[in-house]
Amino acid sequence: MQRTRTIGVILFTFVTVFLYIFLWSVCPNVYMNQGFCILCCNIFMCLCLIYIVSRESFYFFEPIVFVYFMYYMIFVFTPILNILTNNVDIFGTDTMSGCFKGTVIFAIGFIALLIGYYSNIYINGRFKNIEQNDEIILEYDKDSLLRYSYIVWALAVGIYLLYNAMTGRSLLYMLTFGFLSRGLGTSGGFEIDFLSMIIYCGSLPMMNILVNEKSKVIKFIVFFVTCVPVATRGFRSALIIPLLAPFVYYYIKRKKSPSMKILILVFVLVIFMLGFIGNTRSSMRMGNGLNVEGYTFTDGIDGAIDYFSSYKAFYGAVQQYPEIFPYTYGKQLLYAVVMYIPRAIWPNKPNGWIQEVIGNSTNEVARASGSAWPNIGEYYTDGGIIEVVIVMFILGALFRKMKNMYESPRSESSLLVYSLLLPGLIPIIAYGYTAGNLPTIVFMILPLLGQRYLVKGSLIYRNEGDT
């Protein structure tokens, strides 16, 4: 199997290289150098993929696969597609001149991530001892777990819906995509905006209910009420997590990989969902409901491609920093720690730097629209190539720690949390904003802490498959 995977990737490498050579040959003359740079990046990424799949421990649902896919889409597939369709500008600013420098920085960062991921940093020491005691499993009482999950889920969804009601969106508006009601399209302000993060506390309880609840009707209602309000807010990244988590859990629980047909189907559905929400979220956020008039499949594809076009802001950043603007020297990452300290406690708390840096890298329209870049853009503008290498290495080590969650699960909850964290990597890579991504992870994991103290459980010692 290992040999088959390697051969398959080698064939994929040859096919993509010849394809990108052809595409490079038809690139507009003004972007010939950029096209050649992307061709080289494709070769680099294919070589990395050969190394990844040739590993004996390779599994489709391990973190590095999701991370690789995101970076390939952002730095290889989407740039060449945008060049061919003449869609390289970001709100009127052409940043493609930063392609070479940006690609080199990304390649260095990705190598650092691979080193962190495949090093033994999390195999040695106490983590190695944990892996050696796989026979010790924490098992929760299902009835007690379900009661706890329903309470936490109801609180999370209820507070989220209350927040939306306070910002002009009624329960009926949220659950019917605005077909039966209209919203005011107002904003809550920073004082209550943190309540929007509470919905992530409902993710783990939702998974517990989907796994342990016997009624299919109840399962559907819980899944629907969790996902739809997020969709109506236009938060594509937030919707990816609850949508893909059951899919991930199904396969890692059985230690299987999906067939090619299933992969293609899920990929098409996710791409369509990203594009659809991207094209309709402005109408939903303004309180006008779902507007699909004149919407076509091509619009959906364009919206999905836009999701992976965050490289544009990154290309702009590498041209402006540090030549024109100085690095922020840790301020962007530090803000993730102090972001949610109330101003009542810290009146002079500074604002986040993300939009200011985005504006410096592109233009004011992009800044005002909330444009983003891949996570590597934040590290580079914050501390240059040194911070890129350090943070990407640390991320690689953390992703390897994630992998241990399904390889040596300490409980069923380990698999459930992993099934949530894995799709959570998609927005982390695509829209690098630690101050926004960190609370997402914290709120998702928070119910697990309560679960360990409030839900009945017992340690089960397994010896050669026997309890």
* Least confident among 104-118, 123-137, 166-180: 123-137
Is residue 78 a contact partner of residue 90, using CB atoms and an 8 Å limit? no
Check residues 65 and 431 and name the one with the higher pLDDT. 65
pLDDT at 266: 84
Contact 450, 148 (CB under 8 A): yes
Diameter over CA atoms, the chain: 68
Token readout for 313 is 């802001």
* 59/190 Cα distance (integer angstroms): 42
**Is residue 350 scored above 80 in pLDDT?**
no
Decide if pLDDT at 368 tops 80.
no
Q: Which one has a higher pLDDT value, 464 or 44? A: 44
How far does Cα 97 stand from its chain's mean position? 27
Query: Does residue 37 surpass a pLDDT of 60?
Result: yes
**Mean pLDDT of the 54-83 span:** 90
CA atoms within 13 A on the CB side of 249: 23
User: pLDDT value at position 451?
Assistant: 86
Any residues with CB less than 8 A from the CB of 247 and at least 6 apart, and which?
A: 266
Instruction: State how far the Cα of 406 lies from the Cα of 416, in Å rounded to an integer.
Output: 9
pLDDT score of 464: 45
- What is the pLDDT at residue 461? 58
129 band by pLDDT with thresholds 50, 70 and 90: very low
Residue entry with tokens 């991207």: 278
Does the structure show a pLDDT above 70 at 147? yes
Q: Say what the pLDDT of residue 385 is.
A: 95
Q: Which of 35-49, 194-208, 396-410 has the highest mean pLDDT?
A: 35-49
**pLDDT for the residue numbered 294:** 56
Does residue 179 contact residue 225 with C-beta atoms inside 8 Å?
A: no
> pLDDT over 90 for what percent of the chain?
30
pLDDT, the chain, mean = 80
For the ranges 8-22, 240-254, 373-387, the lowest mean pLDDT is seen at: 8-22
What confidence score (pLDDT) does residue 195 get? 73
Tell me the pLDDT band of 130, cut-offs 50, 70 and 90.
very low
C-alpha torsion sign, points 213, 214, 215, 216: positive
Residue 462: what pLDDT? 55
Q: Would you state the pLDDT for residue 177?
A: 61
Burial of 124 (0-12, 13-18, 19+ CB in 10 A): exposed
3-state secondary structure the chain: CHHHHHHHHHHHHHHHHHHHHHHHHCCCHHHHHHHHHHHHHHHHHHHHHHHHHCCCCCCCCCHHHHHHHHHHHHHHHHHHHHHHCCCCEECCEECHHHHHHHHHHHHHHHHHHHHHHHCCCCCCHHHHHHHCCCCEEEEECHHHHHHHHHHHHHHHHHHHHHHHHHCCCCHHHHHCCCCCCCCCCCCCCHHHHHHHHHHHHHHHHHHHHHHHCCCHHHHHHHHHHHHHHHHHCCCHHHHHHHHHHHHHHHHHHHCCCCCHHHHHHHHHHHHHHHHHHHHHHHHHHCCCCCCCCCCCHHHHHHHHHHHCCCHHHHHHHHHHCCCCCCCCCCHHHHHHHHCCCCCCCCCCCCCCCHHHHHHHHCCHHHHHCCCCCCHHHHHHHHHHHHHHHHHHHHHHHHHHHHHHHHHCCCEHHHHHHHHHHHHHHHHHHHCCCHHHHHHHHHHHHHHHHHHHHHCCEEEEECECCEC
Q: What is the pLDDT of residue 204?
A: 92
Residue 359 — very low, low, confident or very high, per pLDDT cuts 50/70/90?
confident
Q: Which tens digits make up the pLDDT trace of 88-123?
A: 888 888 889 999 999 999 999 999 999 999 987 644
Is the per-residue pLDDT at 184 higher than 60? no
Check residue 465 and give its pLDDT.
Answer: 47
Between 314 and 195, residue with greater pLDDT? 314
User: Residue 343 pLDDT > 70, yes or no?
Assistant: no
Give 95 or 278, the one with higher predicted confidence.
95
The pLDDT assigned to 200 comes to 87
C-alpha span between 269 and 11 (Å, rounded): 27
For residue 457, is pLDDT > 70? no
Comparing 166 with 281, which gets the higher pLDDT? 166
Question: What is the reported pLDDT for 132?
Answer: 44
Query: pLDDT by residue (tens digit) across 194-225?
Result: 677 788 899 999 999 999 999 999 999 999 88
For residue 16, the model assigns a pLDDT of 78
Q: In this predicted structure, what is the pLDDT of residue 210?
A: 94
Per-residue pLDDT for 233 more than 70?
Answer: no
**128 pLDDT higher than 50:** no
Confidence of residue 384 (pLDDT cuts 50, 70, 90): very high
